[in-house]
Structure 1
Amino acid sequence: MAVLAPPVAAIRVAVRDALSGLPGDGPVLVACSGGADSLALAAATAFVAPRLGRSAGLVTVDHGLQPGSAERAAAVADWAGELGLTPVEAVRVEVAGRPGGPEAAARDARYEALVAAARRHGASALLTGHTRDDQAETVLLALARGAGPRGLAGMPAQRDLAGVPLLRPLLAITREETRAACTALGLKPWVDPHNSDPAYARSRVRAEVLPALVRALGPGVLDGLARTARLVADDNAALDDLADAALAAARHPDGGLAVPELAALAAAVRGRVLHAWARELGAPPSALSHRHVGALDALVTAWRGQGAAYLPGGLRVRRQAGRLFADPGSAQPT
């Protein structure tokens, strides 16, 4: 009897843990680029899902950014069909003309395509192959940007993506383990040249920063960064619960927020309350920054009769009669 390679076993266990107890009876769809991480995830899901009484499929997205991308996507789809995954789709997306840098534009296009595929097939969840190494990179990039706790929490193991559950089963699995699993299974991953392109900040972190940290502090630094993300995520969840209750308590029947209620809150909770309220008013989440929340906070804690605070989306918030209001005519959520 052949001995199962430890990396293959570890990835199967991670997938089983992620899928066990997943509500709904639709298929799970693996997002697969053809790289080692997503190939190993797809192979494990094809093995595990049927044993849990669930079907599993695959979606590969062709961004059209490199020569041969269509052929590569078709090859991934063919491999998935041979593996027994169903449904299988290769989806082409348009990246040009989208806002943000090339990385953000490609990511947005990819996730839109994945959500659309999940809805077409009534999927219970989407699975991505983000690893512990990806998590460590995410935390370092957030730290460099001066991100707050939400950024330092990294990528959650599960989140809602436009109404579709997104699962990341491999956040405790190393990138080296996914490569070793592919070798053990006889799979030949595609190596994305963008992953080593120094034009991208994440590529520089991957090629230069993380190796330097490992040399200076030892290999445990990657586990430490991933553990930091998990701990901060737990703290965020607790603070978010407090903020939800505080926002409800601060609401006034006229639609504003009561300043005395806000002023009595701890700064960490008040910031979350104001951030959530700004989003309710219609401020685009991607454009809403700490600077905007700070301007709202100044209306509460540093009030000197100043004018309105301006938020993304054409919103103006003013303080009057001990309450915060969005001015009439400001943008409203659609």
Structure 2
Amino acid sequence: MKGQAVAAPPPPDDPLSDDGLERLFDSLIQALGIVIAVSGGPDSMALMQCLARWASRHPRPPLFAATVDHGLRPEAADEAAFVAREAAALGLPHRTLPWLGEKPRTGIQEAAREARYRLLVHYAREVGASHLVTAHTLDDQAETVMMRLARGSGLAGLSGMRRETDRQGIRHVRPLLDLPKSVLLDRCRSRGWPFLVDPSNANELYARVRWRRLMPLLAKEGLTAERLARLAGRAALADEALDAKAREALERAEPVAEGGMLSFRAAVLADEPFEIALRVLELALGGEGLGLESRRLHRLEACTERLREAVGRGEALRLTLAGALVRLERSGRVSLGPEPSRRRGR
């Protein structure tokens, strides 16, 4: 019709077309309910819009939008109210989740992150949802890899954010992890989807903001977000393979759990390659993600090396690591149990 603007059909390979959304959200079809974390920025607003479109086409799991108000900026309450209005326009229920209580003076970003997921998981349980989705993008993945590389992370850290993880029984899915942030921003602008600009995204007190400003310079040298994300994917595959081999090695070492203690044949630490021995010890400690933080990884490596040397010499050894007492007996077994409280902190 003359005088009426008609949107051009999306290109066939458009990841946000109806067919593209089916692929993006395929793992969510069997969910009991889906909580969408929406801050009001272009990424999360695009995610909410796309999920609402996806859910409108066929019978889908119920959607619940949620915004965490960290209480760190006076405008945060207005931003949550904006998201609530936009969610209502899409026919979605919305809940603002306030982070109450005293805030730490240091490590505020990490504390806010932990609080955010704690609140979102609690809300998911409250509404009977099985899945939580966040709008992390390929750019976020690249920044995460660089930040962890700078902190001296191991292979687990360099694998970046996983597409799906378990958070206390709630499945956390990042369906947009392969999409550049620019795709979502362009879609918001072209479709007239309103969004907010968080001023903290320009605050260089935060490490992620500083890395974000460095990314264009790195890209000029060939270290693009796409290549960093590809590195993360390859590291994740290698990490999974090494973990599988470590589990097999620990099982061959005849583990015995009794009275809060775990023991296994110490020879596995000397017979296996160092990386497998390292992971065997980590598994025995019950540690998930010890390799993400440089200082703890260094301590785990040093402990593994000392145990390997003692096993080779047939010596006994006693040391502490990650709140556990590790004992190498002359009988050829390693036992691990809680560190006595009087020794904690030494």
Class of the TM-score when normalised by the shorter of the 2 chains: 0.7 to 0.9
Contact 1:11 1:40 in 2 (8 A): no
Which residue among 236, 240, 244 is the counterpart of 2:239? 236
Which amino acid is the alignment partner of residue 230 of structure 2?
R
Which residue among 104, 126, 137 is the counterpart of 1:131? 137
In the TM superposition, 1:32-43 aligns within 5 A as 32-43=38-49
1:296 deviation in Å? 3.1
Cα distance between partner residues in 1 of 2:236 and 2:215: 22
Cα distance between partner residues in 1 of 2:96 and 2:13: 25
Which residue among 283, 299, 323 is the counterpart of 2:333? 323
1:4 deviation in Å? 4.1
2:289 equivalent to 1:290: no
Aligned to 1:256: 263
1:307 deviation in Å? 4.5
Distance 1:14 1:260, change over 3 A: farther
Partner deviation per Cα, 1:228-248 (whole Å, 9 max, x = no partner): 111111111111111222222
2:233 equivalent to 1:224: no
Aligned to 1:247: 250
Cα distance between partner residues in 2 of 1:205 and 1:52: 41
1:98 deviation in Å? 4.9
Once the two structures are overlaid, the 10-residue window that deviates more, 287-296 or 258-267, is: 287-296
Cα distance between partner residues in 2 of 1:22 and 1:191: 28
- Aligned pair count reads 325
Which residue among 102, 105, 114 is the counterpart of 2:111? 105
Cα distance between partner residues in 2 of 1:228 and 1:88: 36
Gaps of 5+ in 1: none
Partner deviation per Cα, 1:74-102 (whole Å, 9 max, x = no partner): 220121011122x3211111374459601
Cα distance between partner residues in 2 of 1:306 and 1:298: 14
Contact 2:31 2:131 in 1 (8 A): no
Which residue among 11, 16, 19 is the counterpart of 1:11? 16
Cα distance between partner residues in 1 of 2:245 and 2:340: 28
1:9 deviation in Å? 4.4
Which amino acid is the alignment partner of residue 57 of structure 1?
F
Cα distance between partner residues in 2 of 1:170 and 1:149: 23
Aligned identity (percent) is: 35
Cα distance between partner residues in 1 of 2:306 and 2:254: 16
Distance 1:175 1:6, change over 3 A: farther
1:21 deviation in Å? 4.5
Which amino acid is the alignment partner of residue 298 of structure 2?
R
1:250 deviation in Å? 1.7
Q: With the length of structure 2 as denominator, give the TM-score of the two structures.
A: 0.85
1:51 deviation in Å? 2.6
Contact 1:62 1:90 in 2 (8 A): yes
Aligned to 1:212: 217
Once the two structures are overlaid, the 10-residue window that deviates more, 74-83 or 22-31, is: 22-31
Once the two structures are overlaid, the 10-residue window that deviates more, 113-122 or 91-100, is: 91-100
Aligned to 1:178: 184
Which amino acid is the alignment partner of residue 27 of structure 1?
G
2:278 equivalent to 1:271: yes
Which amino acid is the alignment partner of residue 95 of structure 2?
E
Once the two structures are overlaid, the 10-residue window that deviates more, 35-44 or 181-190, is: 181-190
Once the two structures are overlaid, the 10-residue window that deviates more, 171-180 or 303-312, is: 303-312
Partner deviation per Cα, 1:153-212 (whole Å, 9 max, x = no partner): 0111111111111111111111111111111221232111221111111110001x1011
Q: With the length of structure 1 as denominator, give the TM-score of the two structures.
A: 0.88
1:279 deviation in Å? 2.1
Aligned to 1:198: 204
Distance 1:67 1:268, change over 3 A: same
Q: Larger C-alpha radius of gyration, 1 or 2?
A: 2
